[in-house]
Amino acid sequence: MPTVRLKKRAERSILRRHPWLFSGAIECTEGAPQAGDTVDVLASDGAWLARGAWSPHSQIAVRVWTFTAAQPVGAEWFRARLAAAIAARARWLGDAPRPACRLVNAESDGLPGLVVDRYAGFLVCQFLSAGTEAWRDAIVQELIRLLPATAGVYERSDVDVREKEGLQPCAGVLWGEAPPEAVEIAEGPCRYLVDIQHGHKTGFYLDQRDNRAAVAEFANGREILNAFSYSGAFAVAALRAGATRAVNVDSSAEALALAARNVALNDLDPARLENTQADVFQFLRLCRDARRQFDLIILDPPKFAATRGQVEKACRGYKDINRLAFKLLRPGGLLATFSCSGHVDRDLFQKVVADAALDAGCEARILRWLSQSGDHPCALAFPEGLYLKGLICQVGGTPS
């Protein structure tokens, strides 16, 4: 097996079981590894440290498969890792007729670069690294063996990060049936339609499952603004929980078309929902100028900071929308505000929201700290895995 030898004193992060080895830590390679090949990682003194996938095009030159020398990486090894990840999701899969759950959360499930989501009978995979690309067929075969009721496996590796690994974007049927235009899933008391082939990411924002339930707890009797709504999942959860009305705002017409269908699917009166295709930054300003108010505002924007260098600009964006949202709340109103930028940490996000409240002239308290759902775990050795953070804040004053 080819080997990668580290520079002197470069083994610290590997010894802490961090799964990424950056190219700058490498002294030399032996055995001419090709992209996706399995390599043994050795310390500068030759001691065995880990076994991983070689990715010559990426700054992350090795993603570690295992820290155990006795584990050969092959179909059986993948079966064991996939089986462990699936077993850990028993609580979300249960006996639900149309379960929706992330089955494999990449590095945090010991399978760097691999994402597998399940929507009822369909599995959706993302192969985000040279290593997962090399093992793609074996991974699909093992998934089908482990989940024999699967109707089809679909690939949604049409994402930019593949470029960093020297891979082309890729999407299509990997096995079995092609998913229908919309797959129906169950989430708590709600039903949602998922467009696996054309939707965002793998089709749905499963990472917000727990947060939709948390927001629904506060929704009864309130008028909701669901900004960056995508297919309106927060609005459906809130309306089912007794919200009087909801407004979805998103820039995507396709997402809003699905949002309208999701309201019908849940037997909700369509008159309680307004779908507005708009830029949220502009929409919030229009509401401010029209003195339009809400009792609960959800802000779930896309990732504003893709790199560390974009953090400052991202924070200006977060502050802008949060400041405007605070201004639109009735006394006693609630703001459920999120950031999915991994580079903006929890403390920084809270500070930005606090600054926004100050600028809006609002006094506000945090009622809840929110994070990603439990089927999107974060390995303790891999803090990068924690990306979604949110707050439910209440502004002062007597509720209307």
Least separation in angstroms between CB 339 and ligand SAH: 12
**How many chain residues are in contact with ligand SAH, going by CB under 6 A?**
19
Binding part of the chain for ligand SAH, among 58-66, 137-145, 231-239, 366-374 by CB under 6 A, reads 231-239
Which one, 228 or 294, has the nearer CB to ligand SAH? 228
Give the integer Cα–Cα distance in Å for 31 and 258.
52
- Within 252-281, which residues bind ligand SAH (CB under 6 A)? 252, 255, 279-281
Q: How many CA atoms lie within 13 A of 232 on its CB side?
A: 36
Binding status of residue 335 toward ligand SAH by CB under 6 A = no
Least separation in angstroms between CB 304 and ligand SAH: 9
Binding part of the chain for ligand SAH, among 15-23, 258-266, 284-292, 297-305 by CB under 6 A, reads 297-305
Binding status of residue 387 toward ligand SAH by CB under 6 A = no
Please choose, from the candidates 243, 350, 353, the residue with its C-alpha nearest in 3D space to the C-alpha of residue 294.
243
Written as one string, the DSSP assignment of 274-289 is EEEES-HHHHHHHHHH
Binding part of the chain for ligand SAH, among 37-45, 296-304, 327-335, 352-360 by CB under 6 A, reads 296-304
Binding pattern to ligand SAH, positions 189-228, x when CB under 6 A? -----------x----x--x-------------------x
Which one, 135 or 234, has the nearer CB to ligand SAH? 234
Give the integer Cα–Cα distance in Å for 118 and 179.
12
Is 340 one of the annotated active-site residues of the chain?
yes
Among 54, 78, 234, 318, binds ligand SAH (CB under 6 A): 234
Give the integer Cα–Cα distance in Å for 331 and 47.
63
Cβ burial 91-128 (10 Å sphere, 16+ → b, else e): ebbeeeeebbbbbbbbbbbbbbbbbbbbbbbbbbbbbb
Q: Which of 340, 362, 378, 393 is catalytic?
A: 340
Percent of the chain as helix, strand, coil, to the nearest 5: 35, 30, 35
**CA-to-CA dists, residue 117 to 77, 93, 95, 99, 364, angstroms:** 20, 12, 17, 10, 37
Q: Which residues contact 316 (CB under 8 A, 6 or more apart)?
A: none
Which one, 157 or 231, has the nearer CB to ligand SAH? 231
345: its two tokens: 């940490």
Which one, 228 or 382, has the nearer CB to ligand SAH? 228
251: its two tokens: 């820039």
Angle formed at CA 242 by CA 238 and CA 235, multiple of 5 degrees: 20
Gyration radius of the chain's alpha carbons = 23
Least separation in angstroms between CB 376 and ligand SAH: 13
Among 117, 295, 300, 375, binds ligand SAH (CB under 6 A): 300
Which residue in the block uniquely carries the two structure tokens 């400052």?
Answer: 312
Least separation in angstroms between CB 228 and ligand SAH: 4
Which one, 59 or 251, has the nearer CB to ligand SAH? 251
Least separation in angstroms between CB 357 and ligand SAH: 21
Least separation in angstroms between CB 93 and ligand SAH: 20
Among 20, 65, 92, 230, binds ligand SAH (CB under 6 A): 230
Element (H, E) at 319: helix 311-328
Least separation in angstroms between CB 314 and ligand SAH: 13
Least separation in angstroms between CB 198 and ligand SAH: 12
Please choose, from the candidates 278, 282, 287, 300, the residue with its C-alpha nearest in 3D space to the C-alpha of residue 349.
300
Binding part of the chain for ligand SAH, among 18-26, 111-119, 247-255, 257-265 by CB under 6 A, reads 247-255
Give the integer Cα–Cα distance in Å for 248 and 235.
7
Question: What phi, psi does 88 have (nearest 5°)?
Answer: -70, -10
Give the integer Cα–Cα distance in Å for 106 and 376.
9
Task: Just list the catalytic residues.
Answer: 340
Contacts with ligand SAH, residue ranges (CB under 6 A): 200, 205, 208, 228-231, 233-234, 250-252, 255, 279-281, 300-302
